Structure 1
Amino acid sequence: MAIELDNNRWKLGFTVGFGQRPRERNVAARDTTGLEQEIQSAKRRFNLPENCRVLSCYEAGREGFSRKDIGTMWLHRFLLHTQIENLVVDAASMEIRRKRRRPKTDRIDLEKMLRMLIRYHAGDEKVWSVVRVPDVEAEDRRQLHRDRWAPTGERNRHINRIKGLLATQGISLSVNRDLPKELNLVRKWDGSPLPPGLTARLLQEYERLQLVEQQMKVIEQEQRLALRQPDHPSVTMARALMRLKSIHINTAWPLTMELFSWRQFQNSREIGALVGLDPVPHQSGETSRDKGMSKCGNARLRSLAVEFAWQWLIDQPDSELSHWYEKRFGKGSRRVRKIGIVALARKLLIALWRYLETGEIPKGAALKTITV
């Protein structure tokens, strides 16, 4: 069974193997009762027993899973609860024909998913990428740091808007707690004060900024309270990461909850691929070059890893990884150093994974005392 999800209706496709024309049906979106009824009808249509094995799949999207992690996984869990072996697949990993402009309809997509589902269960596991769905507890623990990511962007927007409005008058001020007082004292190029309308708007932006910063403080306090639960494995991992100098709570918590606590990595390549830091080689005949990193993984974790790599160079100058970076990229141009920091970020994630799995501290890394 394949499911083509939509906000208003779901299109279902049923088949028993290659050469069988799919049985297509429509149900209202989120109508789980109608979905179960159609599954039972398909079993009777194909003369299958009531307890036969049912395989299903659907593309990652808002209803079941989102690449930006804004959706839930309720549909996948519902199908598993009803004894249906379901797969959530990455739509970008599905093969397409590039010979000509291709048609796009729900029926065509449904038939393609059914064919690829049969191939996958026949042993061709590389036919697409399967999304791993976390359990309910692991998903819930990711909400705290994601709740902080949103106000962080809002704070930056408020600060930039305040600075932009001041720049229109040729004024540059620091956005801090003294800003309301400074607005009354600052003068334009001709010695006149700021217009009252502009001053009111700046004060309103400052009030919104204060509200966002207060929300961020509350979230950070909740994170610190969560770190006081040492019996939970994920919290233990986060505290272990915080033992390393240069790793604070806003780095350790998302790395643990998004990357290390509930995923089972088999090798270092999987870590690099998850955050989009894996290399993309291009080799054809005598041509051989590197196309850079894939950038197909979690974008937030990728930016966090790069930011953390810069901080690592500052706080861990005696570590082996810092020496490697300085020796290979330290004397290069600005562009070369930026390329090198991406490589360092990938090496750091792998080193942290080994540290959590085996307890092996990165060579030369300094430790610190945890204060929660």
Structure 2
Amino acid sequence: MNKPSPAIITPAAIRTDLGAIFVSLELSRSRWVVTSLSPGGAEKMSKHSVPGGDLAGLMDRFRLLVAKAKARTGQDFPIVTIQEAGLDGFWIHRALVKEGIESHVVDPASIATSRRRRRAKTDRIDGEALVRALLAFKRGEPRVCAMVRAPSPAEEDARRIMRERKTLTGERVAHVNRIKGLLFAQGVSGYEPLRRDRRKRLEELRTGDGRELPRHLTAQILRELDRLELLLAQIKAVEAERDAELAQAREDALPASAARLLEIRGIGPEFATLIWSEGLYRHFDNRRQVAAYAGLAPTPWQSGAVDQEQGVSKAGNPRLRTTMIQLAWLWLQHQPSSALTQWFRDRVAHQGGRSRKPAIVALARKLLVALWKYVATGVVIEGAAMKPA
């Protein structure tokens, strides 16, 4: 009996010539370093620089790269660029796309680096690493790097309201604490700068040893109150703009918007707008992507017999992660009959109440995934109470 001949397995070919000019951009305020790899260039990368912010000079450099490649090969090649997500935002990416150039923005933390304790780092080394990452990405190699989805100008602008409010709130807290600290040094406590009669009560204050407040101290506190009242007015204006946009979303009856989150008991305008503008406006393929984007995904460490959990990665949107943990604590109060609350209580009770903090992070992850399903597909959270219509 003849044995069947074994099948011949041929390895999949890896494409090295994709018919394009690959360019990486190392951006800084002073200069932009352009590292390129062109067809017919003996696989040697060229490096040039243009002044920072000189978009016209960058386009001239691109045209020169195209002309040199055509002179060597007799063909026209498109340009594919890559740059790190950073302080420059996405305006350069949008400008390149507008010119018909394929542009990619990469998460710099996702690019593999040497694990040596001391390693060299220069613009030249980083530029070459970006080009290699772009080549591997275009070849289709899995998990070589994580490309950032650039938001549209409208989506990016929608975040401004909640981020500005958070900044203003932080400044308000700083002014309140500074006023209380100045008064505490004089033996005065119990003064609340946020009360409406703050100026009248300031005139009535006496130091701990019975004196009137010193003249220069009073003047400084009055100036602090001026800035505090300006902040309160600005916070009120920002909140009015936020509420107006939520009301407009309700009138438009959009199938997926922050207004839908307001239907759930325990979620107000602040949480709804922030969760939507910082995360749920994006498209996610699965729940793992949702948790990873918020920095709530677990980080396992497994090798041989070693199998342990390192906690959440925190490599995500810090605003969304902080908000979800705050909302998870409030969820326990406003949604006591929901399945998520019952899961949390059973888990904590099973472990003797010693794991409330790790469990609340897990609850925040589950809650974010449930809210994503509710907004994207209309799946109501099990046992969740809704607000009356």
In the superposition, the TM-score normalised over structure 2's length comes to 0.87
Over 3 Å counting, the alpha-carbon distance change for 1:326 and 1:166 in structure 2 is: farther
Q: Give the corresponding residue for 2:24.
A: 2
Change (3 A) 1:227 1:21: same
Where does residue 257 of structure 1 map in the other structure? 277
How far residue 202 of structure 1 moved from its aligned partner, in angstroms, is 2.1
Structure with the greater alpha carbon radius of gyration:
2
Match of 1:138 in 2: 155
SS in 2 for 1:329: helix
How far apart, in 1, do the equivalents of 2:247 and 2:309 lie?
A: 45
1:329-356 residue CA offsets vs partner (Å, 9 max, x unmatched): 2687886222221111111101101111
Q: 1:243 aligned to 2:260?
A: no
The letter for the 2-side match of 1:339 is P
Whether contact under 8 Å (2:336, 2:342) holds in the other structure is yes
Alignment of 1:220-231 (within 5 A): 220-230=239-249
1:110-149 equivalences in 2 (<5 Å): 110-149=127-166
Q: Using a 3 Å threshold, how does the CA distance of structure 1 residues 19 and 102 change in structure 2: closer, same or farther?
A: farther
Amino acid at match of 2:48: R
Letter in 2 for 1:36: M
Contact 1:40–1:50, Cα closer than 8 Å, also in 2: no
Is 1:25 paired with 2:48? yes
Structure 1: tracts of 5 or more residues without a match: 66-72
After superposing the two structures, state which structure 1 stretch, 38-47 or 165-174, moved more: 165-174
Partner of 1:336 in structure 2? Answer: 355
* Cα distance, 1:190 vs structure 2: 2.3
1:60 is matched with: 85
Structure 1 Cα separation of the partners of residues 59 and 218 of structure 2: 61
Alpha-carbon distance in structure 2 between the residues aligned to 1:184 and 1:103 = 62
Instruction: Give the deviation of 1:172 after TM superposition.
Output: 2.1
Alpha-carbon distance change, 274 to 233 in structure 1, aligned in 2, over 3 angstroms: farther
Aligned residue in 2 for 1:204: 223
Q: Deviations over 1:104-125 (max 9, x none)?
A: 1111111111111111111114
Once residues 279 and 134 of structure 2 are traced to their aligned partners in structure 1, the CA distance between those partners, rounded to angstroms, is 27
Q: Structure 1 residue 86 and structure 2 residue 103: aligned?
A: yes
Secondary structure of 1:342's counterpart equals helix
- Rounded to whole Å, the distance in 1 between the matches of 2:204 and 2:353 is 40
Count of residue correspondences: 361
What TM-score do you get using the length of structure 1 for normalisation? 0.90
- Return 16-25 or 77-86, whichever deviates more: 16-25
Aligned counterpart for 1:297 among listed residues 316, 323, 326: 316
Instruction: Tell me which residue corresponds to 1:154.
Output: 171
Tell me, yes or no, if structure 1 residue 170 matches structure 2 residue 187: yes
Q: Which amino acid in the other structure matches residue 13 of structure 1?
A: T
Instruction: Check 1:168–1:153 CA distance in 2 against 1; reply closer, same or farther (3 A cut).
Output: same
1:324 aligns with 2:349: no
For residues 115-173 of structure 1, what are the alpha-carbon distances to aligned partners after superposition, in whole Å with 9 as ceiling and x for unaligned?
A: 11111111114111111101122112222222212101111111221222222233322
- Once the two structures are aligned, what percentage of the paired residues are identical? 39
User: Residues 123 and 131 of structure 1: is their aligned pair in 2 closer, same or farther, counting only changes over 3 Å?
Assistant: same
Task: Go from structure 1 to structure 2 and tell me whether the alpha carbon gap of 1:318 and 1:223 turns closer, same or farther (over 3 Å shift).
Answer: same
Whether the 8 Å CA contact 2:66–2:76 is kept in 1: the answer is: no
| AA aligned opposite 2:54 | D
> What CA RMSD, in Å, does the superposition of the two structures yield over aligned residues?
2.2
